[in-house]
Amino acid sequence: SKGPAVGIDLGTTYSCVGVFQHGKVEIIASDQGHQTTPSYISFTDTERLNQVATNPTNTDFDVKRLTGCRFDDAVVQSDMKHWPCMVVKHAGRPKEYKGETKSFYLKEITEAYLGKTVTNVVVTVPGQATKGARITAGLNVLRIINEPTAAAIAFGLDKEVGAERNVLIFDVGGGTFGVSILTIEAGIFEVKSTAGDTHLGEEDFDNRMVHHFIAEFKCKRKKDISEDKRAVQHLLTACERAKHTRSSSTQASIEIDSLYEGIDFYTSITRARFEELNADLFRGTLDPVEKALRDAKLDKSQIHDIVLVGGSTRIPKIQKLLINPDEAVAYGAAVQAAILSGDKSENVQDLLLLDVTPLSLGIGTAGGVMTPDNQRGVLIQVYEGERAMTKDNNLLGKLELTGIPPAPHGVPQIEVTFDIDANGILSVSAVDKSTGKENKITVTNDKGLLSKEDIERMEAEKYKAEAEKLRDKVSSKNSLESHAFNMKATVEDEKLQGKVNDEDKQRILDKGNEIFSWLDKNQTAEKEEFEHQQEELEKLYESAGGMPGGTPGGFPGGRAPPSGGASSGPTIEEVD
C-alpha cells in the first residue's frame, strides 16, 4: 500500500529521514540501528563507511559539495586536494556504466520501516541539485526547502508561540553553513531573510586539523604523508573521532598504529589549539549573520530566539541541546511533508511556511549599448546577485518580446514579473502593456544535464529488468534481516519473561544467530534464497505458538524534541 509523505535531509556527511505519524515525527533508523546514515558510497560489497580508510580511492563522499558545480570551478579544484577518490571531467554529462542500477537507500529503509511504498517526499537541498536524482529514485518531490527553514519548523512546532517571535537559525552542517531569520506567529512561519556559505562546514574544521598533523608528522619524523591517500584518510578518521571527544574534555588524543611506512603516530590536540586553527572560519560565520539581519531589516536586539543547528554544535562554544542535533532538519522536513500530503493532525493543521529566495533578482538596463528608435522587439536579461552592475552578477536567462509597435526610445512600456514557486523555481514573464503581447521563461541551472524526458526514456530502454531484480533482492534481504532482528529482540524482552518457555526461546535465538551469520557470508545471495531463509524462520516462529502480543515488526521510532523554557533576551537552542 502507499505510504505517507516523508522528509529527507540529504547532508554532506550524514543523511536522515523522518515521517510524521501518530501526531509526532519519527526519525527512521537505518538497518544498523542508527538514526543518521553516512553520505558515503563505496564500490564494494561491504559497509561503505568502514571502507573509507581501507579502500579510500573507491569510496565517494562529500558529493553534495559537487552538486551545482562544474569541474573547472575553483572550489572543486580546491576540494579535490582533500579527496582520496578521483574526480574527472566527463563532457558535462552523466556517465553510465554497463549493468549499473540506481537505488536510494533512505527510500529502502523507510519502506522497510513503514511496510508501505514511499513516493512523496520533502527534500532539504537546493531544488536544481536534486532535480534528476529524484526522478531516477522514483520519488515525487512535493516541496524543496532549505535546511535552516526546516530546522525552524522543528523548533516552532515544539513551542507554544502565540505572540510574534523573531527566530535566527544558525546552521553549520557537514559542508555548508546557512543563516535564516523567521518570524513565527500563531503557526505561520515567514522567512524574512536567508544567507550563508555553501562551502563552510564541519569538514573544513576537520581538514584544518589534518593539515596541522601532517605538518607535525613531517617535523617529527621527516616524512611527508600528504600524497599517501590511505594515510591521510586514516588521519582524517582519527581527527573526526578526536573532535567528538574534545566536546566533553579540553584535550583529545590521536593514536594511529602504522600510519606511514610502519611508523606509529601518537599525539594530542587541545580545545584551545583547535579553536586557534579554525579562528578565521569561526569569524567567517558572523558576516552572513549580519547580512541576514540587514536583509530582514531587524536589529540584533529584536531577535527573540537563536537556534543553533548542525554537527558542529557539539563544539563546546555551542550551548545546551534541545532537539537532537542530527535529526532536526529531517524532523522539519517530515512536518512539511505531512502538511503537503494532507495530514489533519492538530499539531500541524494550522502551520504555514512562507519562504524567500536567497539572492536579489533583477533585469539588465541600458548601459554601454546603443539602442536605436523604432525597435520591434526587446531582449530582457534576468540576473541574480547583490552587485550594482549586471556584469558582476549571475545571468540566469534571457527572453525576447517581439511584435511591439515601433516607437521612439523609452516610449514602450514593458511589465516584467518574477514568480517564484514554493520549490524556489523562478519564472519570468514580460508583457507589452500597449498590445498585451507576452512571453515567459522558466529559469533553471541544469544546462548539460539530462531532461526528465531523457531520463524516462533511458529508464524504459535500459537496465529496467536488472533494476527491478536487484530491488526485489534487496527488499527480500532487508525483510529477512528485519524479521530475524525483531524476533530475536522480542524473545529477549524482559516484559516477556515467563511467557515464552526456555526451549522455544533458545531455538529462536539460535535461529536468529544462524541467519545473521548466513547473511554475513551471503550478502549477494539470490532473492529466492533470502525468501527460503525467512520461510524457515516463520515456520519456527509458528511452531513456538507465536509471541505474546503479536508478531514483532518495525524499528524503534524517533522521538519528539523536548520543549524549552522562555528567558529574557534571545534564547539559544542547539540542534543539529
Interatomic CA distance for residues 47 and 59, integer angstroms:
10
Question: What secondary structure, in 3-state letters, does 435-459 show?
Answer: CCCEEEEEECCCCCCCCHHHHHHHH
What is the residue whose three cell numbers read 528485519? 482
Q: What angle do CA 300, 306, 312 make, to 5 degrees?
A: 120
Spot the catalytic one: 24, 64, 107, 243. Answer: 64
The Cα–Cα gap between 404 and 417 comes to 18
SS3 at position 142: strand
User: What is the maximum span of the chain, computed from C-alpha positions, in angstroms?
Assistant: 97
Per the listing, cell 562554544 goes with 317
CA distance 451 to 70: 18
Is 350 part of the annotated catalytic residue set? no
In sequence order, what E strands does 95-242 have?
A: 120-123, 140-144, 165-172, 177-185, 188-197
How many beta carbons lie within 10 A of that of residue 434, not counting itself? 13
Candidates 62, 158, 171, 327; catalytic one: 171
| Euclidean distance between CA atoms 172 and 169, whole angstroms | 10
**Catalytic annotation present for 495:** no
- Helix (H) or strand (E) holding 402, with range, is strand 394-402
Q: Quick check: 113 and 22 in contact, CB under 8 A?
A: no
β pairing state of 140-144 and 120-123? parallel
Residue 169's contacts (CB-CB under 8 Å, 6 or more residues apart) are 148, 149, 151, 152, 155, 178, 179, 180, 181, 182, 307, 309
Instruction: State how far the alpha carbon of 136 is from the alpha carbons of 119, 130, 133, in Å.
Output: 12, 10, 5
Catalytic residue among 60, 79, 147, 574: 147
Rounded to whole angstroms, the Cα distance separating 221 from 569 reads 52
Contact 137, 117 (CB under 8 A): no
Which residues lie across from 309 on neighbouring strands?
A: 171
- C-alpha 528/C-alpha 443 separation (Å) is 48
Q: Is 147 a catalytic residue?
A: yes
222 is known as an active-site residue: no
Which residues belong to the active site? 9, 64, 147, 171
